[in-house]
Amino acid sequence: MLKQIEGSKAVAEAVALCRPEVICAYPISPQTHIVEALGEMVKSQRLSPCEYINVESEFAAMSVSIGASAAGARAYTATASQGLLFMTEAVYNAAGLGLPIVMTVANRAIGAPINIWNDHSDSLSQRDSGWMQLFAENNQEAVDLHIQAFRLAEELSMPIMVCMDGYILTHAFERVDIPSQEEVDAYLPPFEPRQVLDPSEPITIGAMVGPEAFMEVKYLAHAKQMQAIERIPELASEFRSVFGRENGGLVRTYRVEDAETVIVAMGSVIGTIKDVVDEMRDEGHRIGVLTIVSYRPFPLEQVRSALLHCKRFLVLEKSLAVGMGGILATDVRMAVTGAGLMGYTAIAGLGGRPIFKSQLHPLFRQAEKEELPPVTFLDLDWEAVNRQLERERQTRRSGPVAENILHDKGIVSAKFG
């Protein structure tokens, strides 16, 4: 059913249609609206049977999910940013135990300085945790990815994060087609666990494993993700046949056929990039877009074949590997090893800094002319940065960095509110 609906509400509807049995909720912006909506559905018994648990921390949210999943219940939770970091130990544990938990990550920056706005630092910090990570471009895709995520997670018995940009998607009202219960039931069978805590058939889960078997267990997690490389496109195509929509998959290309320059990105910024590419195409530029939907598993071959015929690519990412450059860019470069392409990285939109078409036009043109440095910081205020660097050269006790920058810029955070 078509609805004009907030992204978080739409995701809550989608999750409810997946018949979760245990939902753990701990508030952290910007995912709160999702669990709030689910809480109301459970309390009003619209979503039943389902246990909704208000836990005392994100660490508990993931831990309760682990217990529920190990006991054979379909478990769901949502988090972001500091919350994801706070639950990290349990995040790795869920993957290590092979428990098919689905978690929405409403992508948000990581402090300090504390910042509630969108970038991809949070989920990318968990890239090696063993969780799969699927990135939504818009709210329709966020809805569809959740439904696919439960199916894929349970098939492989591995957990999945569905990543959607905080505020930009979670709080945006868009037209979203919410599927019917019949459609979702036809696509998503009941959870049949691979391992379950059952008194009639006692098993030990989470034993101590030494050097003699640890590598094999870890490799099997990798093997699961390699299986996911096969299954993700199949599940997306099956999804299309049931729901009549194309969403998900490993990667998506846009106007890359004869492109000499390809912009690579994830998440909602793809919309802005596509608009810029359309405008540049109108002017005769041979430019296209590669969208990474599946960040983990990372589709090396698909990325390679999508980029192989271009001359250069620019990875635009909302994340920063401090001391190195790009996080996503590193993976993309790995995919095109030996292909002789020029590769550029643009770090953009950290902590919710808006990414405007007016900034992308010159950036893409510079990339086209191969005039970019290997790593670019889009819209970085060099004056503010240099002033702080100079201050640190002049004074030992130069004070807290974030407060100095805010002072220099003459703005207060309230202006963003």
Least distance from other proteins to the Cβ atom of residue 40, Å: 18
Least distance from other proteins to the Cβ atom of residue 157, Å: 15
Least distance from other proteins to the Cβ atom of residue 26, Å: 10
Least distance from other proteins to the Cβ atom of residue 25, Å: 12
Strand, helix or coil for residue 22:
strand
Strand boundaries in 57-180, DSSP class E = 75-79, 102-107, 132-135, 160-165, 173-177
Give the tokens for residue 82.
């500091």
Q: Are 199 and 73 in contact (CB under 8 A)?
A: no
User: For residue 129, which of 23, 222, 29 has the smallest C-alpha distance?
Assistant: 222
Taking each helix axis from N to C end, the angle separating 214-243 and 139-156, rounded to the nearest 10 degrees, works out to 130
Give the Cα separation of 52 and 37 in Å (integer): 11
Nearer to other proteins (CB atom), residue 204 or residue 241 = 204
Least distance from other proteins to the Cβ atom of residue 202, Å: 4
Nearer to other proteins (CB atom), residue 61 or residue 250 = 61
Least distance from other proteins to the Cβ atom of residue 145, Å: 24
Least distance from other proteins to the Cβ atom of residue 75, Å: 7
User: For residue 97, which of 60, 56, 65 has the smallest C-alpha distance?
Assistant: 65
Nearer to other proteins (CB atom), residue 54 or residue 386 = 54
| 47, 331, 365, 373 from 340: Cα distances, Å | 54, 16, 20, 17
Nearer to other proteins (CB atom), residue 7 or residue 193 = 193
Nearer to other proteins (CB atom), residue 56 or residue 282 = 56
Strands 173-177 and 261-265: unpaired
- Name the residues that contact other proteins, by CB under 8 A: 21-22, 24, 49-51, 53-57, 59-60, 63-73, 75, 89-90, 93, 97, 197-199, 201-210, 213
CB atoms within 10 A of CB 93: 17
Nearer to other proteins (CB atom), residue 195 or residue 366 = 195
Nearer to other proteins (CB atom), residue 41 or residue 50 = 50
